């Protein structure tokens, strides 16, 4: 049984969606009205702002869930149901889902850097291009989550995606840290058979006309999110079966993706081993879906999950910094 059925919480979904588009409009229409190169200082400030907003929302979400649970006869009739415990669990699931999505988003950042380099996109246009990429990401994530909320009810589907995450993690682990070549990428080669792909960006346009023909320039920004959603959405469903929590944690992580890109773009070479941490997270999350959740009576302890994920990412970052310093000596 879901704690947040859509029929009872559709107004929350609508209100949250309006809130998201309001802050995005504020971001583009006020704070980033004119195209400019985003500095590390500016991107760091915005990263802190987005993380702060997510944490504030988590506090609000706990209070809101507690208020709703305390007056929901459907839940209160369940033997042993304690509103405060359920509200705390929901808030912790949001936080864990947010951390997972934020961690996996780091891989998006590496891909963004490759795409921007491939199309020779000037830094002055990168923020606005990513903005429209985020809009597309919000739509595609909503569709993936809606589909996932139905499919994840079937054990076979859960095991399939769990195995997929583990295989992806193993492949990422052994892929190493070599630079990716878009020109030889399978997806790029297939897209070239369908679209006219222009090798350079023309301002901030996704489509560009020349001699009466329409060329695609930045479709890859949208495609990267579709590809990574295949990993990240099932990963969060391993933490919680509540679509509302999956949706809100995903969206908040995506909102801070642009600023995190600009903050890390210039120093990504210093985090050469973070991919191993991400690979370990994918393997762990896949293992939860395939075995651990069932072995622990239906759900692996959420607090331990959060600690393991933070530990894996933190240790990979620390290893990257230490090894980079040693190499520089």
119 φ, ψ (degrees, to nearest 5): -90, 5
SS3 category, 301: coil
Is residue 239 a contact partner of residue 96, using CB atoms and an 8 Å limit? yes
Residue 294 CA to residue 298 CA, distance in Å, equals: 4
Is residue 319 classed exposed, middle or buried when 0-12, 13-18 and 19+ CB atoms within 10 A define those classes? middle
Domain boundaries, the chain: 27-328
Is residue 255 a contact partner of residue 286, using CB atoms and an 8 Å limit? no
Q: Which residue, chain included where needed, has tokens 């909320």?
A: 149
Could you write out the DSSP letters of every residue in 3-66?
Answer: SS-HHHHHHHHHHHHHHHHHHHHHIIIIIT-S--PPPHHHHHHHHHHHHHHHHHHHHHHHHHHH
pLDDT confidence of residue 175: 72
Give the helix ranges, DSSP H, for the chain: 6-26, 40-69, 73-76, 83-118, 123-151, 155-175, 186-194, 219-237, 243-255, 257-264, 274-287, 293-295, 302-328
Residue 161 CA to residue 297 CA, distance in Å, equals: 20
pLDDT confidence of residue 76: 92
Longest pairwise C-alpha distance within the chain: 71
Q: How many CB atoms lie within 10 A of CB 306?
A: 19
pLDDT confidence of residue 5: 92
SS3 category, 271: helix
pLDDT confidence of residue 46: 86
Is residue 287 a contact partner of residue 192, using CB atoms and an 8 Å limit? no
Q: Mean pLDDT of residues grouped by 10 in the chain (329 residues)?
A: 90 93 78 69 87 96 96 91 94 93 76 68 71 75 85 87 87 66 58 60 59 56 64 82 92 84 71 83 89 84 89 89 78
SS3 category, 120: coil
Q: How many CB atoms lie within 10 A of CB 54?
A: 21
Query: Angle formed by the axes of helices 219-237 and 83-118, to 10°?
Result: 150
Q: How many CB atoms lie within 10 A of CB 13?
A: 16
Q: How far is CA 327 from the centre of its chain?
A: 32
Q: Left, alpha or beta for 203 (phi > 0: left; psi -120 to 50: alpha)?
A: left
Residue 8 CA to residue 1 CA, distance in Å, equals: 13
Is residue 228 a contact partner of residue 104, using CB atoms and an 8 Å limit? yes
Structural tokens at position 159: 């095991």
What is the pTM (predicted TM-score) of this model? 0.81
Which residues, 6 or more positions from 279, have their beta carbon under 8 angstroms from its beta carbon? 169, 170, 172, 173
């Amino acid at each position: 049984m879901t704690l947040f059925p859509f029929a009872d919480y559709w107004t929350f979904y609508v209100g949250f969606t309006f809130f998201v588009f309001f802050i995005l409009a504020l971001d583009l229409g006020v704070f980033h009205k004119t195209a400019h190169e985003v500095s590390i200082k500016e991107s760091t400030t915005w990263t802190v702002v987005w993380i702060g907003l997510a944490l504030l929302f988590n506090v609000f979400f706990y209070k809101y869930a507690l208020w709703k649970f305390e007056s929901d006869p459907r839940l209160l009739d369940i033997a042993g149901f304690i509103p405060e415990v359920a509200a705390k669990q929901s808030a912790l699931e949001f936080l864990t889902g947010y951390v997972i999505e934020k961690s996996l988003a780091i891989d998006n950042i590496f891909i963004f850097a490759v795409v921007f380099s491939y199309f020779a996109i000037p830094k002055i246009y990168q923020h606005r291009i990513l903005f429209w990429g985020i809009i597309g990401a919000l739509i595609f994530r909503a569709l993936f989550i809606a589909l996932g909320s139905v499919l994840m009810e079937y054990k076979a589907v859960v095991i399939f995606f769990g195995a997929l995450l583990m295989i992806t993690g193993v492949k990422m682990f052994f892929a190493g840290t070599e630079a990716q070549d878009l020109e030889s990428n399978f997806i790029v080669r297939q897209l070239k058979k369908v679209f006219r792909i222009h090798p350079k960006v023309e301002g901030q346009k996704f489509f560009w006309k020349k001699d009466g023909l329409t060329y695609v320039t930045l479709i890859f920004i949208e495609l990267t999110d579709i590809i990574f959603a295949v990993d990240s959405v099932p990963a969060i469903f391993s933490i919680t079966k509540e679509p509302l929590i999956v949706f809100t944690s995903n969206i908040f992580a995506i909102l801070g993706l642009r600023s995190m890109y600009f903050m890390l773009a210039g120093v990504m070479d210093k985090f050469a081993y973070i991919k191993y941490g991400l690979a370990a997270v994918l393997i762990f999350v896949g293992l939860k879906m395939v075995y651990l959740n069932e072995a622990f009576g239906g759900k692996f302890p959420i607090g331990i999950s959060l600690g393991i994920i933070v530990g894996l990412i933190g240790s990979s970052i620390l290893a990257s910094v230490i090894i980079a310093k040693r190499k520089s000596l």
